[in-house]
Amino acid sequence: MKRSLVVEAQGGPLGLVIAGANVHDAKLLKRTLQAIVVPKPRPTSRKKQYLCLDKGYDNPTGHAAARCRGHTPHIRRIGQEKLDGRGHTRHPARRWVVERTLAWLSKCRAILIRYDKNPSNYRGLIQLACALLWYRRLSVLR
């Protein structure tokens, strides 16, 4: 089972797609971006909508899926973080944000070990866990 997840900058889940483990990530990107439940702001010439992706999406299919939804793909390889004039990391890479959110979701045992045979039930369980993540994040801010 593969969970394809799109998150905002702090790790809050925005969209989710599940598929078989044998499906390549680049083929899931279009469906994952279509699954975003929050309307995104329109990109302008001054403020583009960047989408941070890992190297698995660095192919024509991944680039086309990101561009058809109005995103500018932002793919950095490992070791290519932005550096200042002295060679120090100015902006650390953001590849780990999705991995952290997947780890948060894996703390739910029913998500880590898939007991549901029906994919729609499993997807609903993951969506419920995502809603709980948002609830916990927003209740801490108050």
Q: State the Rg of the chain over Cα.
A: 16
Q: How far apart are CA 42 and CA 48, in angstroms?
A: 8
Q: How far apart are CA 54 and CA 77, in angstroms?
A: 7
pTM of the shown model: 0.79
Mean pLDDT by 10 residues, the chain (142 residues): 88 91 90 88 80 85 89 74 64 74 89 88 93 89 71
What are the boundaries of each domain within the chain?
2-141
The CATH architecture one would assign to domain 2-141 is 2-Layer Sandwich (3.30)
Q: How far apart are CA 92 and CA 9, in angstroms?
A: 12
Query: What beta strand segments (E) does 8-142 contain?
Result: 13-19, 50-53, 72-75, 82-83, 89-91
Residue 97's pLDDT is 85
Residue 88's pLDDT is 66
